């Protein structure tokens, strides 16, 4: 799916990702434990025939931005023996929805001027909302990518994507009028939120990261097991907000 | 046009812990009290429920319970010669909003200051000589002693259903508790919170080095408990969704869970939430605050609420801003060192460590905010500072508050932040990591203060508070000392590997460090050296009582809520037993 020859079209990206998900053995959607035999059977059936890949409806990102985000989250979280790729885990969906949320629109942040660059110790000082910041950052990153590699970021091979992200992480990628390091930081945080947050937000599909970590999700209580399981692994099928609802 | 409302006996400006304590004590004494709160009302049975409270994205990342910076923020600079810029979204500290304030999402560590903390300037002078305290260290004795406050600390312990192990019961030292603490009149209401694997290994290692480990004291009920208000609190579930989040079982104490259930039933009390107080109306000649002006956020209308007694109970920054805007007291002037309002701002100096034990299972995701084991051997004057080159200290803890997957994953230094190698390290170490914290004092310094910003304004057009803060070298050395002691304990735990996390010398407003801001309306023995007297009564307005950590003369090595809760009960007691009989200054200037 990261083949440079692949055109950057969303439905193709989506179709390619779905294949990776199956190959990596993405777990079926879990039901609240303990499942009845009928539920268990239904669940198994889902695993055998996963839903067909759908183009993901987007709330905020345009197609170019979405392709960029998919390429980023798949580089941060590559498909491997531990998990499917970032986009297969829903990280791009998570980011799109967050940017469309009140937070993405700059809610609860102070946006009055005057604006000065300030010192790093003084934190974020731009007028841009988080959504505007990402859009402007992606445009700057793709400009830089075209100048440096001759194509947009999502058109790069996996090793070049990783190299480009490392340049941004270290602030060596010189974007026009934009901090590559700041963009990198925001993208990494959003990706990790999507990967590890509750699936209700569109990421962490099928609680894939919680299963990977051995994180049980939402407990009802641990008061009765804290002492019994000292220095002994406590294992439980992860429960998410939806499982309790 | 401002609508003038009919008089009430007392009004609180802000409704967190201190607003609720004062409102409860004053209504019990027969006063009609109005509680004004800028944010929404938060009701445990409706707002703190499963499964919605167990949401790391909403609460820990998006900070649902915190102040709205589009309405109000502060500006920040490290040093007085720099341009201060607004905190556009809070990070290093997280003041709350809504009824309960910061006391909903807090970590609920419930500490008392040491007896020597209350007379720190005198104690340092006696022990190290009269020239020992550097000129720029503007620390002061408190105008109250530990013994004055002990009954009120005890009262607050019981309101909260606190859990812990006493280490000094009426002078008798008890092994397994904090043997350095001041004498307590009574045990904690509840037995300590259970310890995790990591906490027990830490306790063994600390003991082997001759230290005195004990379970961290918390305002979290380890068992179901009915407090003196008749409110029943649930037992801690060790759910791991605690810091920055409300408690679903009402085990972690908040004003909402411990006081408001009783207060809401009292017809003498009226809560007005979403009412933002913008002004204290001060009659300088009469030395009274005659009323407060607020905007009802639901209709945009302005109201003037006259009151016999005004309780200023917002967060540190709001308290200072109100006094400066109203012209109550003399503003601190950094250049000359004169003036008091805004002086002696202090923070908390925290630094930590992570250790990894490949053969130990930590089940890191369970815990409560205060679940941990701690030593107090290097706090305050519990140790000799001779030759160390700094004053102050702090506690050293192994915290097992839960390791939520977005922000609670610890990997060894040098691990990549992304990619397959990062993923493998994350999975490898998640179950085997332990985390540590040193929480140190910040002694007041003449360069750390608050004043009004000349440029930036809040949504009501009021100048923002401008914070100038950088930890003095004294604090940096103090923290390095605590980290060296922590490193010794970690080594004795025999980890596979570990990393120490010292703080940079320059304070940064992101990421999160601590919400423990103090000072700016310091309490003291006389109006020449303080903003409020020993009963938290303003020297310049006798019906104004300023609550919260803004009255601390400096920050000691403990979480502030235990002391600010005790001070609130102490102040309320002075109002109901002394002030109501004879309204006027309770201490003659």
- CA-to-CA distance for B487 and B496, rounded, in angstroms? 14
Question: Structurally, what CATH architecture does the domain formed by B2-579 represent?
Answer: 3-Layer(bba) Sandwich (3.50)
When pLDDT is averaged across residues B252-280 and rounded to a whole number, the result is: 98
Supply the pLDDT for residue A56.
Answer: 76
Nearest to B548 by CA among B528, B570, B577, B574: B570
Residues 6+ apart with CB under 8 A from A25: none
Structure confidence by residue, pLDDT tens digits, B309-358: 999 999 999 999 999 999 999 999 999 999 999 999 999 999 999 999 99
When pLDDT is averaged across residues B487-511 and rounded to a whole number, the result is: 97
Supply the pLDDT for residue A50.
Answer: 41
Residue spans per domain, chain A: 10-244
Burial class for B184, CB neighbours closer than 10 Å (0-12, 13-18, 19+): buried
Q: 3-state SS of B387-423?
A: CCCCCCCEEEEEECCCCCCCCCCCCCCCCCCCCHHHH
pLDDT tier at A11 (50, 70, 90 boundaries)? Answer: very low
- CA-to-CA distance for B532 and B460, rounded, in angstroms? 27
Is pLDDT at B493 greater than 60 in this prediction?
yes
Residue of B172 and A56 predicted with greater confidence: B172
Is pLDDT at A45 greater than 50 in this prediction?
no
pLDDT tier at A9 (50, 70, 90 boundaries)? Answer: very low
When pLDDT is averaged across residues B238-256 and rounded to a whole number, the result is: 96
Supply the pLDDT for residue B80.
Answer: 97
A224 interfacial to chain B (CB closer than 8 Å): no
Is B516 marked active-site? yes
Of the candidate ranges A37-41, A77-81, B383-387, B520-524, the one whose mean pLDDT is the lowest: A37-41
Of the candidate ranges A45-59, A89-103, B36-50, B108-122, the one whose mean pLDDT is the lowest: A45-59
CA-based Rg of chain B, rounded to a whole angstrom? Answer: 23
Is pLDDT at B289 greater than 60 in this prediction?
yes
Is pLDDT at A51 greater than 70 in this prediction?
no
Of B361, B366, B420, the CB nearest to A80: B420
Distance from CA of A209 to the nearest CA of B (A): 9
Structure tokens at B553: 């003369």
Supply the pLDDT for residue A29.
Answer: 38
B468 interfacial to chain A (CB closer than 8 Å): no
Of the candidate ranges A201-210, A217-226, B77-86, B199-208, the one whose mean pLDDT is the lowest: A217-226
Task: Go through chain B and tell me how many residues it has.
Answer: 589
In the sheet that holds B394-399, the strands lie side by side as B214-215, B372-375, B394-399, B433-440, B349-356, B497-501
Supply the pLDDT for residue B370.
Answer: 83
- The one catalytic residue in B105, B322, B516, B556 is B516
CB contact under 8 Å between B196 and A226, yes or no, is yes
Q: What percent of chain B has pLDDT over 70?
A: 100
Structure tokens at B296: 């009802």
Torsion of CA B290, B293, B294, B300, to 10 degrees: 150
SS3 B531: coil
How far from chain centre, in Å, is Cα B492?
A: 32
CA-based Rg of chain A, rounded to a whole angstrom? Answer: 20
Of the candidate ranges A48-62, A202-216, B306-320, the one whose mean pLDDT is the lowest: A48-62
pLDDT tier at A54 (50, 70, 90 boundaries)? Answer: low
CB contact under 8 Å between B427 and A213, yes or no, is yes
CB contact under 8 Å between B419 and A216, yes or no, is no
Of the candidate ranges B157-171, B363-377, B574-588, the one whose mean pLDDT is the lowest: B363-377
Is pLDDT at B2 greater than 90 in this prediction?
yes
When pLDDT is averaged across residues A17-35 and rounded to a whole number, the result is: 38
Is pLDDT at A213 greater than 60 in this prediction?
yes
pLDDT tier at B369 (50, 70, 90 boundaries)? Answer: confident
Query: What's the mean per-residue pLDDT of chain B?
Result: 97
Structure confidence by residue, pLDDT tens digits, A136-193: 999 999 999 999 999 999 999 999 999 999 999 999 999 999 999 999 999 999 999 9
> Strand B168-169 relative to strand B302-312: parallel, antiparallel, unpaired?
unpaired
Task: Tell me which chain B residues have a C-beta less than 8 angstroms from the C-beta of A232.
Answer: 361
Burial class for B151, CB neighbours closer than 10 Å (0-12, 13-18, 19+): middle
Supply the pLDDT for residue A55.
Answer: 66
CB contact under 8 Å between B89 and A192, yes or no, is no
When pLDDT is averaged across residues B111-121 and rounded to a whole number, the result is: 98
Residue pair B295/B317 in contact (Cβ under 8 Å)? The answer is no
Give all strands (DSSP E) within B332-371, no chain letters: 349-356
CB contact under 8 Å between A122 and B68, yes or no, is no
* B 37-76 residues with CB < 8 A to A: 50-52, 54-57, 61-63, 66, 68-70, 73, 76
Is pLDDT at B148 greater than 60 in this prediction?
yes
The residue of chain A with its CA nearest to that of B427 is A213
Task: Go through chain A and tell me how many residues it has.
Answer: 245
* B 350-389 residues with CB < 8 A to A: 360-361, 363, 365-366
- CA-to-CA distance for B372 and B361, rounded, in angstroms? 16
> Residue A59: how many CA atoms within 13 Å on its side-chain side?
16
Supply the pLDDT for residue A44.
Answer: 38
How far from chain centre, in Å, is Cα A65?
A: 14
Structure tokens at A30: 């879990």
């Amino acid at each position: 799916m990261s083949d440079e020859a692949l055109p950057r079209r969303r439905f193709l990206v989506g179709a390619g990702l779905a294949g990776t998900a199956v190959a990596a053995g993405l777990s079926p959607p879990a039901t609240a434990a303990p499942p009845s035999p009928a539920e268990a059977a239904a669940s198994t059936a889902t695993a055998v025939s996963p839903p067909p890949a759908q183009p993901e409806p987007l709330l905020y990102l345009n197609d170019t931005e979405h392709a960029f985000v998919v390429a980023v989250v798949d580089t941060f979280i590559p498909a491997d023996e531990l998990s499917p790729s970032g986009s297969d885990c829903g990280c791009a969906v998570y980011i799109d929805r967050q940017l469309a949320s009140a937070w993405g629109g700059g809610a609860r942040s102070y946006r009055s001027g005057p604006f000065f660059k300030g010192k790093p110790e003084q934190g974020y000082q731009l007028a841009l909302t988080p959504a505007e910041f990402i859009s402007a950052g992606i445009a700057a990153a793709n400009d830089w990518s075209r100048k440096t590699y001759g194509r947009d970021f999502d058109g790069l091979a996996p090793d070049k994507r990783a190299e480009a992200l490392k340049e941004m992480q270290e602030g060596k990628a010189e974007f026009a009028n934009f901090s590559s390091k700041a963009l990198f930081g925001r993208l990494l945080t959003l990706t990790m939120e999507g990967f590890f947050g509750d699936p209700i937000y569109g990421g962490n599909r099928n609680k894939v990261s919680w299963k990977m970590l051995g994180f049980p999700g939402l407990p009802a209580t641990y008061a009765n097991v804290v002492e019994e399981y000292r220095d002994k692994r406590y294992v439980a099928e992860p429960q998410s907000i939806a499982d309790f609802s | 046009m401002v609508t003038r409302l009919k008089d009430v006996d007392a009004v609180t400006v802000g409704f967190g812990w201190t607003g609720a304590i004062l409102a409860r004590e004053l209504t019990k004494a027969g006063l009609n009290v109005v509680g004004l709160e800028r944010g929404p009302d938060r009701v445990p049975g409706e707002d703190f429920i499963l499964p919605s409270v167990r949401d790391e994205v909403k609460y820990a990342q998006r900070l649902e319970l915190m102040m709205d910076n589009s309405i109000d923020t502060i500006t920040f600079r490290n040093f007085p010669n720099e341009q201060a810029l607004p905190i556009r979204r809070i990070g290093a500290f997280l003041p709350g909003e809504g009824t309960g304030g910061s006391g909903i999402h807090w970590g609920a560590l419930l500490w008392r200051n040491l007896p020597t903390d209350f007379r720190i300037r005198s104690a340092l002078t006696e022990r190290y000589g009269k020239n020992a305290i550097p000129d720029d260290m503007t620390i002061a004795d408190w105008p109250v002693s530990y013994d004055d406050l002990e009954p009120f600390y005890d009262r607050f312990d019981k309101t909260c259903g606190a859990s812990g192990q006493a280490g000094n019961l009426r002078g008798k030292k008890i092994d397994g508790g904090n043997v350095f603490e001041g004498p307590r009149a009574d045990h904690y209401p509840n037995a300590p919170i259970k310890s995790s694997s990591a906490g027990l290994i830490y306790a063994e290692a600390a003991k082997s080095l001759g230290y005195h480990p004990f379970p961290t004291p918390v305002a979290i009920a380890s068992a179901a408990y009915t407090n003196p208000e008749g409110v029943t609190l649930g037992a801690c579930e060790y759910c791991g969704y605690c810091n920055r989040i409300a408690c679903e079982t009402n085990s972690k104490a908040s004003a909402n869970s411990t006081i408001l259930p009783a207060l809401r039933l009292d017809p003498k009390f009226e809560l007005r939430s979403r009412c933002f107080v913008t002004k204290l109306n001060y009659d300088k000649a009469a030395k009274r605050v005659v009323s407060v002006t607020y905007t009802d956020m639901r209709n945009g209308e302005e109201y003037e609420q006259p009151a016999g007694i005004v309780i200023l109970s917002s967060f540190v920054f709001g308290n200072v801003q109100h006094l400066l805007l109203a012209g109550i007291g003399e503003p601190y002037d950094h250049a000359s060192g004169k003036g008091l309002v805004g002086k002696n701002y202090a923070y908390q100096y925290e630094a930590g460590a992570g250790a990894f034990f490949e053969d130990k299972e930590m089940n890191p995701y369970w815990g409560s905010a205060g679940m941990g084991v701690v030593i107090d051997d290097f706090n305050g004057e519990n140790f000799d500072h001779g030759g160390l080159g700094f004053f102050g200290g702090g506690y050293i803890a192994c915290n097992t508050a839960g390791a939520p997957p977005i922000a609670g994953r610890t990997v060894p230094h040098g691990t990549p932040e992304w990619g397959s190698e990062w993923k493998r390290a994350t999975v490898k170490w998640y179950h085997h990591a332990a985390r540590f914290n040193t929480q140190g004092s910040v002694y007041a310094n003449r360069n750390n203060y608050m004043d009004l910003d000349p440029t930036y304004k809040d949504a009501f057009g009021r100048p923002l508070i401008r914070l100038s803060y950088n930890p003095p070298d004294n604090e940096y050395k103090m923290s390095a000392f605590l980290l060296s002691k922590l490193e010794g304990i970690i080594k004795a735990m025999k980890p596979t590997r570990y990393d120490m996390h010292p703080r940079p010398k320059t304070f940064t407003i992101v990421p999160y460090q601590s919400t423990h801001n103090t000072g700016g309306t310091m309490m003291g023995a006389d109006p020449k050296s303080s903003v409020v007297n020993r009963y938290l009564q303003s020297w310049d307005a006798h019906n104004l009582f300023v609550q919260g950590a803004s009255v601390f003369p400096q920050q000691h090595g403990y979480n502030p809520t235990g002391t600010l809760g005790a001070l609130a009960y102490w102040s309320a007691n002075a109002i109901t037993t002394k002030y109501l009989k004879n309204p006027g200054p309770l201490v003659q200037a």
